[in-house]
Amino acid sequence: MNGFHYSMKTHAKLSTRYSVSPLICHAIIYDIIPFKRGEEKSLKSTFSIFILSFFLILLPASGMAGEKEGTTMSTVRDIHWLGHDTFKIAGEKIIYTDPFKIKKKDTADIILITHEHFDHCSPEDVKMIQGQNTIIVTTADCAKKLSGTVKTVKPGDRITVEGIEIEAVPSYNTNKQFHPRANNWVGYIFTVKGQRIYIAGDTDYIPEMKTFRTDIALLPVSGTYVMTADEAVKAALDIKPSIAIPMHYDSIVGSKDDARKFADALKGKIEVVILKEE
């Protein structure tokens, strides 16, 4: 056989490692470059090595991207939407966000609260999931309503709690006055199983979102007090998460139609997962 002498056994090894058919490996090595009969074998071998190397450099990158997408989706399966802005994330630690209308008792390792409004900072609901070792991360005005171990943050702060990296980011209104920027209320970006999860809090579409790096974005879509679905689409396109999850609808304000509108507008751009309320 002319050219670079790889056995089909070698092709099979390559195909297993890089998710390519053995026949494709064979074609890359022997058939992709149409040399005329009589040309030097060494020349064909050189070109074959070059082409094969090109493919083998690209294919691992593609595999890594697929692996990351799989990891992100695996993390999504650990995210449970309990309504409004309340999520339970069961990763290395049990993390709750903005507990409100909690249906059953549980013990959280970490509770993240974005601001002091009653539907986010609810002492009665916090007690439903607060254990002796639970750590609460929240803003200074909400902290005054709570007891136990409470750490206060403002936009720009970074802390590590029980091994979980947490960033407090700005969260405010731009065209309404329900959540003034001067209040220093926050959203959070925190890392679970290597995935950066962003919970926006009660916010409008704000310029800072262009700087957020996140794998999963939990975004309000109801309008009235927060972004509309259309504005949330703009936010998602700025943030560029692998997966976006709508929240802040079908409770107090907004409806399931807002979540569907958000998902429809991002088809082919960003994957949207609409979680079932638990």
The whole-number pLDDT of residue 45 equals 56
Instruction: Specify the amino acid at residue 243.
Output: I
- C-alpha 114/C-alpha 270 separation (Å) is 25
Query: Is a pLDDT exceeding 90 seen at residue 78?
Result: yes
Domain harbouring 148, CATH code: 3.60.15.10
Parent domain of 234: 77-272
How far apart are alpha carbons 98 and 86 in whole angstroms? 5
Residue 73: predicted pLDDT: 79
pLDDT at residue 14, rounded to an integer: 43
Is the pLDDT at 274 greater than 70? The verdict is: yes
pLDDT digit string, tens, across residues 110-134: 999 999 999 999 999 999 999 999 9
Same domain (yes/no): 57, 176: no
- Shared-domain flag, residues 39 and 99: no
- For the chain, the helix, strand and coil percentages under 3-state DSSP, each to the nearest 5: 35, 25, 40
Same domain, 87 and 12: no
Confidence (pLDDT) at 56? 54
Same-domain pairing of 37 and 84: no
Secondary structure of residue 152 in the 3-state scheme? strand
Q: Which two tokens stand for residue 80?
A: 């449970």
Mean predicted confidence (pLDDT) in 19-44:
49
Q: State the pLDDT at residue 5.
A: 43
Say whether both 40 and 175 belong to one domain: no
Name the band, by pLDDT with cuts 50, 70 and 90, for residue 35: very low
Question: Does the residue 32 lie in any domain?
Answer: yes
Find, among 162, 164, 131, the residue nearest to 148 by Cα.
131
Q: What is the tally of structural domains in the chain?
A: 2
pLDDT at 72: 84
* 101 lies in the same domain as 231: yes
pLDDT at 13: 47
Residues 144 and 263 in one domain: yes
Residue 1 lies in a domain: no
Same domain (yes/no): 172, 87: yes
Residue position matching structure tokens 């579409």:
205
The string of pLDDT tens digits covering residues 223-234 is 999 999 999 999
**Residues 264, 265, 267: CA angle, nearest 5 degrees:** 65
Please compute the mean of the pLDDT values over residues 60-81 and round it to a whole number.
72
Nearest to 227 by CA among 172, 169, 185: 172
pLDDT band per the 50, 70, 90 thresholds, residue 138: very high
Residue 83 belongs to a domain: yes
Beta bridge partners, 167, equal 158, 189
Q: Please state, for a pLDDT cut of 90, what percent of the chain lies above it.
A: 72
Average pLDDT over residues 93-107: 98
Domain boundary among 52, 69, 86: 69
Residues 26 and 56 in one domain: yes
Q: How confident is the model at residue 255 (pLDDT cuts 50, 70, 90)?
A: very high
Choosing from 69, 101, 119, the residue where a domain stops is 69
Query: Which segment of 54-63, 100-109, 187-196, 216-225 scores lowest on mean pLDDT?
Result: 54-63
**CA torsion sign, 71 to 72 to 75 to 76?**
negative
